[in-house]
């Protein structure tokens, strides 16, 4: 059985390879994918999320388990693990720490959507949030667009400036702190990576041609952007089922009668495979809402397992040659 820590997975997984694997998986569609809706189990100390996935004909399947604590913990409020099984025997073949896996698969999915929906000449990336997902998106999004400036907006000036100073060491372009209004108004691509239950900025501030990735929340009553933004945007989602069950950005205006279900124009499979049109003009506002799905976890875990097996085989081959 293979095991990996978060640090080992970070060294193992190439973001561009994860983006490519995600592209191939969503292009193939969801017909062969068995992916029950995410299970929320409330406990005395927080919430346990369970996300299984299997693909017909695959030799492996998997399940992610995420513990979200209500209280702050030294190791962080969120702790994830991923278990992989041999489909034919149900034998456990791998156990991974999955915090980095989750961060990377989310940012890779966002990057895939950005590659399709954002203007090709986007130069300013705006990120709301200063946590793990903000860090992952800052590292991965520049793989699909040549940003010259990155704006960061956090919950406090002190926290934002500290994050900027930390990230400046790994950024090849200008990075600076910004208030919410400036970040919203001045960015060509926006990623909201927060746990906010209320809109972070006025949707009226968003300039024509902006693309937004809304990835921070997955509760029906929580939303990082307001209804005005959703009404103005061409809206796309990772999967219809998950979005209409968990995405507050869509469900709040939907239940208020401000939009209809048809306002969601396509899912990731449809825009990756060009079944549905993404961006049609420079001035359109586009929004990709992702609550995360178990297919994204399985795709990333399979890539890690394939790399581990390949390296193990190479090591065994070298040993046999030298023995």
pLDDT tens digits for range 93-135: 999 999 999 999 999 999 999 999 999 999 999 999 999 999 9
Query: Which two structure tokens, joined as six digits, stand for 44?
Result: 């005395």
Confidence of residue 90 (pLDDT cuts 50, 70, 90): very high
Q: Which domains does the chain have, with CATH numbers?
A: 2-101+295-312 (3.30.1780.10), 106-293 (3.40.50.720)
Going 261 to 264 to 267 to 271, the CA torsion angle's sign is positive
Contact residues for 131 (Cβ-Cβ < 8 A; gap 6+): 193, 194
* pLDDT at residue number 321: 53
Given a contact cutoff of 8 angstroms between Cβ atoms, the answer to whether 66 and 83 are in contact is no
Distance between CA atoms of 80 and 13, rounded to whole angstroms? 17
Given a contact cutoff of 8 angstroms between Cβ atoms, the answer to whether 123 and 106 are in contact is no
Calculate mean pLDDT across residues 73-84: 88
**Per-residue pLDDT for 282 more than 60?**
yes
User: Which SS3 state, helix, strand or coil, does residue 87 take?
Assistant: coil
Report CA 117 to chain centroid distance, whole Å: 15
Distance between CA atoms of 8 and 49, rounded to whole angstroms? 23
Distance between CA atoms of 306 and 36, rounded to whole angstroms? 25
Q: Of 70-79, 185-194, 263-272, where does mean pLDDT reach its minimum?
A: 70-79
Given a contact cutoff of 8 angstroms between Cβ atoms, the answer to whether 286 and 225 are in contact is no
pLDDT tens digits for range 145-182: 999 999 999 999 999 999 999 999 888 899 999 999 99
* pLDDT at residue number 70: 83
What is the model's pTM?
0.93
pLDDT tens digits for range 292-315: 999 999 999 999 999 999 887 766
Specify burial of residue 172 (Cβ count, 10 A radius: 0-12, 13-18, 19+): exposed
* pLDDT at residue number 317: 61
Distance between CA atoms of 157 and 162, rounded to whole angstroms? 9
């Amino acid at each position: 059985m293979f095991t990996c820590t978060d640090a080992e997975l970070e060294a193992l997984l190439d973001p561009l390879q994860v983006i490519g694997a995600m592209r191939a998986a969503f292009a193939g569609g969801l017909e062969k994918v068995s992916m029950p809706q995410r299970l929320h189990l409330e406990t005395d100390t927080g919430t346990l999320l369970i996300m299984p996935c299997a693909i017909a004909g695959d030799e492996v399947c998997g399940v992610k388990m995420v513990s979200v604590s209500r209280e702050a913990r030294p190791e962080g409020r969120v702790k994830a693990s991923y278990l992989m099984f041999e489909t034919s025997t149900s034998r456990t073949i791998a156990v991974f720490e999955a915090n980095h896996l989750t961060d990377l698969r989310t940012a890779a999915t966002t990057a895939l959507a950005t590659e399709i929906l954002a203007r090709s000449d986007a130069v300013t990336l705006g990120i709301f949030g200063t946590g793990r997902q903000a860090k992952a998106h800052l590292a991965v999004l520049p793989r699909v667009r040549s940003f010259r400036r990155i704006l960061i907006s956090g919950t406090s000036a002190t926290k934002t400036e500290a994050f900027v100073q930390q990230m400046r060491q790994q950024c090849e372009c200008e990075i600076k702190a910004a208030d919410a209004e400036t970040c919203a108004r001045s960015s060509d691509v926006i990623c909201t990576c927060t746990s906010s239950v209320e809109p972070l900025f006025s949707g009226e501030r968003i300039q024509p041609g902006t693309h937004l990735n809304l990835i921070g929340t997955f509760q029906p009553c929580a939303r990082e952007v307001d209804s005005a933004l959703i009404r103005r945007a061409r809206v796309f989602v990772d999967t219809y089922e998950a979005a209409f069950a968990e995405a507050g950005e869509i469900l709040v205006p939907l239940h208020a009668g401000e939009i209809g279900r048809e306002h969601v124009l396509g899912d990731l499979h449809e825009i990756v495979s060009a079944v549905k049109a993404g961006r049609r003009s420079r001035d359109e506002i586009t929004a990709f809402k992702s609550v995360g799905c178990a297919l994204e976890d399985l795709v990333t875990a399979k890539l890690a397992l394939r790399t581990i097996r390949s390296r193990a085989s190479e090591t065994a081959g070298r040993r046999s040659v030298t023995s």
